[in-house]
């Protein structure tokens, strides 16, 4: 298989996994699920790191730096705020 | 510096942690663990990328990660729970923006090196820019609306649909230009500009009560933008994580649409389908509305055994959740059973009411969803509706009105309904609510927090 077919296969399968994993989500958790998954979408940080560290041109490095800052806020802020929210969810007499 | 196959294996481990983490996040008992697993997955992916041999200079990366971490942590720890919808919107926009910038940087680099472009690379780059820009500006407009900087009302004007369609066509045209002329990087920035405008106009046209759908949809887009960037870089972990988030956002969007009985197209493009004029509101209310006082409600509660509280966006606006908690505790001390009825689209983001009540330490097993609480209303002595309107409007069961077929909380089946509201003004759907005039409804007019305070005080004194 060529590279594109491999990536496309991964993409399609991951979409199906996503649907299967999250179909039965408790309504109580709609917000934390959103902010937690939001943090995961900050995975683009990986790409940002590669751009910022490649040292090809000043412009690409600046774009990379901005991307690293944006994505890190997304990742760190997202996971921390989700954790903070989830700690508040408790059952009776716990 | 480690070999590429080890890097890829660690990425695989990260992907597994994301999947297990998301699965955990969907259930209350495993949610905290799920979130931590997701964070560990991200940490591993970042570390292994840093030791990858592609990195030449660490200065900028360290500056960026430090700055981002500090800003993110400060925001996340200091933000009030009531401001959570706009916070989620803001983070979401930044994720989309980062994807756009990465794809742009990679395209610039490729143009500089005049390296061969595969079709896959250019299409993915264009998609990254398109989806990333819509996510960035759309989320910022959503943030502005939720923060009250931009009007919550849908911004409607003549030729509105045409503007959006032209912007979309423009974005597609620019995408084709990028694919045909990958070295002309200027096309990419024009594309992101047009797509950014599209994001602005799409979300401006959407009203406050439809925000839960928009936020869920933008959440999905931020994932898809990351996945597109994964195709640009040929990086599997970006594709997997991005598509997982894309899928989860779509599921949430579907749940929200179902809770409003509307199609996604109807929410995004609005006003589709004819609406039949409703009877004049004054005819419905005239002489039939009964208003009440804190003392009267307190007496009703005194003799009640089973009580439900139904909160809406009005509770969030009035910051009345603390008083709601206080009243529910006082009721329980006297042996009254108290539950909360939560409509899926109550508030401005999916799960908004749950977060506010959880912050007040209301146990989540008291927060009942539509299907669970609806059969129980007929056994309830008192239902207090606080700052909710359309989600309890019985007109939804009839034909030919803007909320026809929308699942509602059947509060009208309870013995007595107390509506805490400022006035008889209609909700977001703009239609009168016959519930206000029903024989078993008492209107308790005023500010949500002030009225709840009075009620707590009066209940202590009975």
Say if residue B236 is in the same domain as residue B286: no
Domain holding B348, by residue range, is: 281-461
In this prediction, residue B273 carries a pLDDT of 39
**B91·A77 Cβ contact <8 A:** yes
User: Is A80 within 8 Å of chain B by CB?
Assistant: yes
Instruction: Please give the backbone phi and psi of residue B123, each rounded to the nearest 5 degrees, phi first.
Output: -65, -45
* Average per-residue pLDDT for chain B: 91
Question: In this complex, which of A43, A52, A59 lies closest to B241 when CB atoms are compared?
Answer: A43
Question: Per-residue pLDDT averaged across B127-156, rounded?
Answer: 92
| Structural domain includes residue A68 | yes
In this prediction, residue B280 carries a pLDDT of 65
Q: What is the DSSP letter of B29?
A: G
**A28·B240 Cβ contact <8 A:** no
Out of B243, B269, B295, a domain closes at B269
Q: Provide the pLDDT confidence category of residue B391 given band limits of 50, 70 and 90.
A: very high
In this prediction, residue B102 carries a pLDDT of 96
Q: Considering only CB atoms, which chain A residues are within 8 Å of B26?
A: 21-22, 24-26, 29, 33
**B242·A23 Cβ contact <8 A:** no
In this prediction, residue A1 carries a pLDDT of 52
Question: Per-residue pLDDT averaged across B71-99, rounded?
Answer: 92
**CA R_g for chain B:** 25
For the segment B313-334, what is each residue's pLDDT rounded down to a tens digit? 999 999 999 999 999 999 999 9
Q: Is the pLDDT of residue B220 over 90?
A: yes
Q: Provide the pLDDT confidence category of residue A93 given band limits of 50, 70 and 90.
A: low
**B342·A27 Cβ contact <8 A:** yes
Q: Among residues of chain B, what percentage have pLDDT more than 70?
A: 97
| Structural domain includes residue A19 | no
Q: Which of residues 36-65 of A touch B (CB under 8 A)?
A: 36-57, 59-61, 63-65
Q: Considering only CB atoms, which chain A residues are within 8 Å of B348?
A: none
In this prediction, residue B207 carries a pLDDT of 83
**B240·A14 Cβ contact <8 A:** yes
Out of B236, B269, B302, a domain closes at B269
| Structural domain includes residue B48 | no
| Structural domain includes residue A21 | no
| Structural domain includes residue B447 | yes
Q: How far is B119 from chain A (nearest CA, A)?
A: 10
For the segment B270-296, what is each residue's pLDDT rounded down to a tens digit? 644 334 445 566 777 888 899 999 999
DSSP E strands in B132-290: the ranges are: none
The C-alpha atoms of residue A20 and residue B12 are separated, in whole angstroms, by 19
ipTM of the complex model: 0.95
Provide the domain count of chain B.
2
Say if residue B92 is in the same domain as residue B192: yes
In this prediction, residue B173 carries a pLDDT of 96
**B97·A70 Cβ contact <8 A:** yes
- B390 annotated active-site: yes
Q: Provide the pLDDT confidence category of residue B192 given band limits of 50, 70 and 90.
A: very high
Q: What is the dihedral of CA A71, B136, B255, A31, to 10 degrees?
A: 50
Question: Per-residue pLDDT averaged across A61-74, rounded?
Answer: 95
Q: Where are the alpha helices (DSSP H) in B286-320?
A: 294-302, 313-318
User: Is A9 within 8 Å of chain B by CB?
Assistant: no
Say if residue B450 is in the same domain as residue B309: yes
Residue B4: which region, alpha, beta or left (left: phi > 0; alpha: psi -120 to 50)? alpha
Say if residue B382 is in the same domain as residue B303: yes
For the segment B41-77, what is each residue's pLDDT rounded down to a tens digit? 999 999 999 988 678 788 889 999 999 999 999 999 9
The C-alpha atoms of residue B81 and residue B127 are separated, in whole angstroms, by 34
- Check: CB of residue B87 under 8 Å from CB of residue B140: no
Q: Is the pLDDT of residue B430 over 50?
A: yes
Provide the domain count of chain A.
1
Interior/surface letters B262-296, b for 16+ CB within 10 angstroms, e for the rest? beeebbbbbeeeeeeebeebeebbeeebeebebee
Say if residue B98 is in the same domain as residue B215: yes
Q: Is the pLDDT of residue B1 over 70?
A: no
Q: How far is B365 from chain A (nearest CA, A)?
A: 6
- Specify the 3-state DSSP secondary structure of B383: strand
Confidence (pTM): 0.90
The C-alpha atoms of residue B403 and residue B74 are separated, in whole angstroms, by 41
In this prediction, residue B321 carries a pLDDT of 94
Out of B234, B269, B304, a domain closes at B269
Instruction: From the candidates B330, B371, B379, B390, give the one annotated as an active-site residue.
Output: B390
| Structural domain includes residue A37 | yes
In this prediction, residue A23 carries a pLDDT of 82
């Amino acid at each position: 298989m060529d590279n594109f077919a491999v990536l496309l296969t991964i993409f399609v399968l991951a979409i199906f996994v996503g649907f299967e994993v999250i179909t039965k989500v408790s309504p109580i958790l709609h917000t934390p699920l959103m902010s937690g998954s939001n943090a995961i979408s900050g995975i683009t940080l990986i790409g940002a790191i590669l751009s910022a560290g490649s040292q090809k041109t000043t412009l690409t490095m600046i774009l990379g730096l901005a991307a690293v800052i944006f994505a890190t806020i997304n990742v760190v802020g997202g996971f921390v705020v989700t954790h903070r929210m989830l700690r508040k969810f408790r059952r009776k007499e716990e | 510096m480690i070999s590429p196959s080890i890097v890829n294996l660690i990425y695989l481990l990260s992907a597994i942690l994301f999947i297990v983490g998301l699965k955990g996040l969907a259930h209350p008992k495993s949610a905290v663990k799920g979130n931590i697993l997701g964070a560990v997955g991200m940490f591993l992916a970042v570390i292994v990328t840093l030791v990858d041999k592609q990195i030449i200079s660490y200065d900028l990366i360290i500056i960026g990660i430090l700055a981002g971490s500090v800003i993110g942590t400060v925001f996340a720890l200091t933000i009030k729970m009531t401001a959570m919808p706009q916070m989620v919107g803001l983070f979401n926009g930044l994720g989309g923006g980062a994807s756009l910038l990465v794809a742009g940087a990679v395209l610039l680099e490729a143009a500089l090196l005049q390296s061969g472009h595969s079709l896959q690379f250019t299409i993915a780059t264009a998609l990254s820019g398109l989806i990333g820009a819509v996510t960035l500006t759309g989320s910022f407009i959503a943030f502005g609306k939720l923060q009250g900087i931009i009007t919550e009302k849908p911004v409607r004007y003549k030729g509105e649909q045409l503007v959006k369609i032209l912007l979309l066509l423009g974005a597609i045209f620019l995408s084709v230009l990028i694919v045909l002329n990958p070295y002309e990087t200027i096309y990419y920035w024009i594309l992101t500009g047009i797509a950014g405008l599209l994001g602005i106009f799409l979300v401006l046209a959407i009203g406050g009560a439809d925000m839960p759908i928009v936020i869920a949809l933008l959440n999905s887009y931020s994932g898809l933008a990351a996945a597109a960037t994964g195709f640009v870089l040929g990086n599997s972990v970006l594709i997997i994580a991005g598509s997982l988030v894309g899928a989860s956002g779509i599921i949430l969007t579907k749940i929200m649409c179902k809770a409003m009985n509307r199609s996604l197209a109807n929410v995004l493009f609005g006003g589709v389908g004819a609406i039949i004029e409703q009877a004049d509101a004054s005819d419905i209310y005239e002489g039939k509305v009964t208003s009440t006082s804190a003392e009267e409600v307190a007496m009703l509660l005194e003799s009640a055994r089973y009580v439900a509280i139904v909160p809406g966006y009005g509770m969030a606006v009035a910051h009345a959740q603390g008083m709601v908690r206080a009243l529910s505790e006082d009721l329980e001390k006297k042996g009254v059973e108290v539950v909360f009825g939560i409509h899926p689209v109550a508030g401005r983001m999916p799960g908004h009411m749950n977060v506010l009540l959880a912050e007040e330490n209301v146990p989540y097993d008291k927060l009942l969803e539509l299907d669970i609480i609806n059969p129980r209303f007929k056994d309830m002595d008192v239902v207090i509706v606080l700052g909710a309107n359309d989600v309890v409007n019985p007109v939804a069961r009839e034909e030919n009105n803007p909320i026809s077929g929308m699942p509602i909380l059947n509060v009208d089946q309870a013995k007595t309904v107390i509506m805490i509201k400022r006035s008889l003004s209609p909700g977001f759907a703009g239609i009168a609510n016959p519930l206000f005039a029903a024989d078993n409804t008492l209107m308790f007019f005023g500010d949500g927090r002030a009225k709840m305070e009075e009620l707590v005080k009066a209940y202590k004194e009975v």
